[in-house]
Structure 1
């Protein structure tokens, strides 16, 4: 699989991959209700596009593409050093793809002088980031659509949480 830049035209496919990836976690460490709150059933629309555009503005991003052009994963790292998205298609998991995308975006960030990085990692992505040298700072709980979801704050390169 090859890594390529993420283009605006890729966003609808990334959105669908995001939803598939989250729902593949149901029955593992997240409940079906948690997955529905995290990635609700909805189609790509102008509202979602606007939200993604704001989140991706200026971010470093990449996609993983399998033979035949099939989207296997995508990731983006915001200019403030926060990994905002890292998703791999369920069929492409456990092949080191997440780690490759993390390394690629870290390389681009380092070229721009950004080395203090952090992520609010899911149970599924936490091992990917730990293998990449991120250290666990603390457990975390968010509420999405009235449902509590556990995740983890991890950091690398000297990033510190405000007030810590």
Structure 2
């Protein structure tokens, strides 16, 4: 699989992959209700396009493609050092692709002088980030559409959570 930079033209396919990945977690590490709150079943729209384009504009990014051109995964790392997205298609999982994308985005960030990194990792992505030497800081809970979803705060490179 080859890694390439993402462009705005890739975002509809990324959105579809994001929804498929989250739905694949239902019944394994998250409930159906949690998955529906995290990734509501919505078709690609102008509203979603504008929001995702804004997020991508402030990030380093990559996509993973198989030889036939299908999207196998995508990731982006915000310029403030926060991993915002890391998704691998269920059919491409467990081949080291998540780790390769993390490594590529860390390289891009380091070239720009950003080495203090963090992520709010799902139950599914936590092991991928731990294999990439991120350390667990604490469990976390977010509320989306009235539904509690647990995740984990992990960090690398000296990143520290601001005290409230």
The bucket for the TM-score relative to the shorter chain is over 0.9
Question: Aligned equivalents of 1:160 and 1:129: distance in 2?
Answer: 16
Question: Aligned equivalents of 2:111 and 2:128: distance in 1?
Answer: 22
Residue by residue, what CA displacement relative to the aligned partner does 1:105-138 show, whole Å, maximum 9, x if unpaired? Answer: 0000000000000000000000000000000000
Unaligned runs of 5+ in 1: none
Aligned residue runs from structure 1 range 9-24, under 5 A? 9-24=9-24
TM-score, normalised by the number of residues in structure 2: 0.99
Question: Aligned equivalents of 1:88 and 1:118: distance in 2?
Answer: 19
The answer for the alignment partner of 1:132 in structure 2 is 132
TM-score, normalised by the number of residues in structure 1: 0.99
| RMSD between aligned residues | 0.8
The answer for the alignment partner of 1:47 in structure 2 is 47
Deviation at 1:56, TM superposition (A): 1.5
The answer for the alignment partner of 1:3 in structure 2 is 3
Deviation at 1:57, TM superposition (A): 1.8
Question: Aligned equivalents of 1:90 and 1:145: distance in 2?
Answer: 25
Describe the SS at the equivalent of 1:120.
Answer: strand
**Paired residues, number:** 164
Describe the SS at the equivalent of 1:27.
Answer: coil
Question: Aligned equivalents of 2:151 and 2:93: distance in 1?
Answer: 19
Question: Aligned equivalents of 1:49 and 1:131: distance in 2?
Answer: 32
Question: Aligned equivalents of 1:109 and 1:55: distance in 2?
Answer: 16
Residue by residue, what CA displacement relative to the aligned partner does 1:64-105 show, whole Å, maximum 9, x if unpaired? Answer: 001210000000000000000000001000000000000000
Runs of 4+ in structure 1 over 3 Å off: none
Unaligned runs of 5+ in 2: none
